[in-house]
Structure 1
Amino acid sequence: MTTALLRRFGGLVLTLVISSFVIFAGMYAAPGDPVTFLIGNPENLTPDKIAAVRAEYHLDEPLWTQYARWATGVLHGDLGQSMYYQQPVSDLLSSRLPMTLTLVAMATVLFVVIGVGLGALAALRRGSALDSVVTGFTTFVNSVPNFVIGLVLVAVFAVQLRWFPVAGDGAGLTDRLYHLTLPAIALALGSIALISRVTRQTMTEQQTLDHVEAARSYGLTTRQIVVRHVLRNSLGPVVTMCGLVMAGMLAGTVVIESVFGLNGVGKLLVDAINTHDFPVVQAILLYMVIGYMVVTVAVDLAYPLLDPRTMARSDRS
């Protein structure tokens, strides 16, 4: 078990190092030169001015040297200085991160509760009209992009019905949750479809296994069979998929925050790309990679708690 944990930890560290280098180097492969933006006025684009700006931001150093300087700063909690906002990147992220995490948390609650619920209903009523309706609805929703869903929600519920605000962050916890309702729904709908289909498929397979048939022969009620055998044994794959979907939402907020005008990390990433603010882009992409890794590790740790057989197999290996 200890060896497996060490291998996993080593793999995570290696993945993080490779990802961080790809993120850092990828910025310099992108079109455009941040020096042009930093100088501003085209009349000031003299060779001496360009050389001075490159030296100030260490852009005249080799790529490996720049990466080593940046990675060392990251390890010490220094994400660099924003070229556009002229303030520490860590301050920018700390002011935008609560908005994004709240949005992801709301969307996660929605797709887990509704997705698992719809999938369980469809599996228990397999072949019925309810099963067809759920399957058709989830297939349709899964085929529509998030930004289209967001625009439709804004047009109907914000502009026409005026039940929700068109844009904005809200002031205070209650008002913020109110402002994030439509964005959370738009972010969660596609995931609801995916989780519903995974839950339905997993529960349908569980109902055909021998131990479920044996439980029926012992006279257990349908509710007891579903709770003790079908749903419990289905939790592993469902929880794994929920974790992966939630981790992917960290990147999905980019589109939703832009549609609803939210001042989160996703919107900050779009603005940073448009202004060639490399330190901000690098920090946000690194945050997304770390967030994805943290969620997947948490799911891996939780899986043996849901299915003890996994722990037993790990111990034998």
Structure 2
Amino acid sequence: MAGFLLRRAGGILATLLVTSLAVFGSVHLAPGDPATFLLGGRSASPEAVAAIEAQYHLDDPLPVQYVKWAGGVLTGDLGRSVQFRQDVADLILARLPTTLWLVGYAALLIVLVGLTLGALAALRPGAVDRLVLVGTGVATATPAFVAAIGLVSLFSVRLGWFPAFGNGSGLGGRISHLTLPAVALALTFTGLLARVTRASMLEELGRDHVEVARSRGIPGSAVVRRHVLRNALGPITTVTGTVVAGLLVATSIVETAFGLSGIGQLLVGSVTVKDFPVVQAVSLLVVLAFACVNLLVDLVHPLIDPRLSHAKGAAS
């Protein structure tokens, strides 16, 4: 286990290094200049532009800028935002709770609804299965921004059940404000998880040991719980981990549509004005979340199927 964790930690560090290089290079090579944003469209003398570039180290060669930025990241200094004139770490910490609430809410909906629909479709062939397949197909094909427009139009404008914008305050207010964004964010991923759950459970239902268990008179609920669902959890867990990690990326569209002051909206606004430090820091945060969730899934898999741990031990 110690060797496995060390190898995965090394892989995460290598991934972060490659990602930081890719993000740093792509952001700086894109057209536009942060100094133009800082000047607010006003004309300025070359001396004033040079002073702004020197203040934010924009006049240094790209390798020098990267080394300075990477060195600051290693010491906990993510730089200073060009747009907000604040430390990037403070900006992220202030907006992170909203994004975590949204991601957690959406993940809960995805797991509960996706697993329920997938299991229902696998265990109820016929009309129920076809209905779930059609519904999940529509959900999977619906982009988050389209779902956001439809949800706001129906539940906010016409029915007035939920607010359309803002983060809300307090537990009840936050849940009320995040319900529609969470549904819009979870819709596509719920359909995906339901289909994976259905396919995995159908595969397990056709196994010989399931037929043997049924022929021995074991109740159907026990057969599903002990022999079908548990063995089907492998691919379901993998997809769930990928989906939860992907929610951090998808939040940018939903947060912008619903006016939520989260990490996603911060990233979109920072890309527009080429706020280099913010874009780089948020990108690294998303990649780190992906890597940590994948590591957690790998650690959970042997608990679901002990044969995986035995196979690793035999291979080593």
Query: Structure 2 length as normaliser, TM-score?
Result: 0.97
Instruction: Kindly state the Cα deviation for residue 70 of structure 1 after the two structures are TM-superposed.
Output: 0.7
Instruction: Kindly state the Cα deviation for residue 171 of structure 1 after the two structures are TM-superposed.
Output: 1.2
Residue number in structure 2 paired with 1:25: 25
Residue number in structure 1 paired with 2:236: 238
Instruction: Kindly state the Cα deviation for residue 4 of structure 1 after the two structures are TM-superposed.
Output: 4.0
- Native 8 Å contact 2:106 2:186 kept in 1: yes
Match of 2:290 among 292, 298, 307: 292
Residue number in structure 1 paired with 2:59: 60
Instruction: Kindly state the Cα deviation for residue 227 of structure 1 after the two structures are TM-superposed.
Output: 0.4
Instruction: Kindly state the Cα deviation for residue 277 of structure 1 after the two structures are TM-superposed.
Output: 1.4
Match of 1:160 among 154, 158, 161: 158
Residues 76-121 of structure 1: per-residue CA shift (max 9 Å, x gap): 1111101111110111111110000100000000010010001001
Letter matched to residue 258 of structure 1: T
The count of corresponding residues between Structure 1 and Structure 2 is: 315
- Native 8 Å contact 2:12 2:288 kept in 1: no
Structure 2: segments with no counterpart, 5+ residues: none
Q: Which runs of 4+ in 1 moved over 6 A?
A: none
Rounded to whole Å, the distance in 2 between the matches of 1:228 and 1:182 is 36
Instruction: Kindly state the Cα deviation for residue 2 of structure 1 after the two structures are TM-superposed.
Output: 4.7
Rounded to whole Å, the distance in 2 between the matches of 1:106 and 1:41 is 41
Rounded to whole Å, the distance in 2 between the matches of 1:130 and 1:207 is 17
Residue number in structure 1 paired with 2:42: 42
Instruction: Kindly state the Cα deviation for residue 41 of structure 1 after the two structures are TM-superposed.
Output: 4.9
Letter matched to residue 187 of structure 1: L
Relative distance call for 1:218 and 1:132 in structure 2 (3 A) is same
1:210-249 equivalent positions in 2, closer than 5 A: 210-249=208-247
Residue number in structure 1 paired with 2:181: 183
Residue number in structure 2 paired with 1:263: 261
Residue number in structure 2 paired with 1:70: 69
Rounded to whole Å, the distance in 2 between the matches of 1:43 and 1:150 is 40
- Native 8 Å contact 2:8 2:295 kept in 1: no
Letter matched to residue 65 of structure 1: V
Instruction: Kindly state the Cα deviation for residue 169 of structure 1 after the two structures are TM-superposed.
Output: 0.9
Residue number in structure 2 paired with 1:123: 122
Instruction: Kindly state the Cα deviation for residue 40 of structure 1 after the two structures are TM-superposed.
Output: 3.0
Does 2:19 align with 1:15? no
SS in 1 for 2:137: helix
Does 2:104 align with 1:95? no
Rounded to whole Å, the distance in 2 between the matches of 1:232 and 1:299 is 15
Residue number in structure 2 paired with 1:136: 134
Residues 36-70 of structure 1: per-residue CA shift (max 9 Å, x gap): 222335321x2222222222211121211111111
Rounded to whole Å, the distance in 2 between the matches of 1:141 and 1:109 is 17
Rounded to whole Å, the distance in 2 between the matches of 1:299 and 1:185 is 24
Letter matched to residue 15 of structure 2: T
Instruction: Kindly state the Cα deviation for residue 5 of structure 1 after the two structures are TM-superposed.
Output: 3.8
RMSD: 1.2
Structure 1: segments with no counterpart, 5+ residues: none
SS in 2 for 1:108: helix
Letter matched to residue 14 of structure 2: L
Rounded to whole Å, the distance in 2 between the matches of 1:262 and 1:87 is 19
Rounded to whole Å, the distance in 2 between the matches of 1:6 and 1:73 is 24
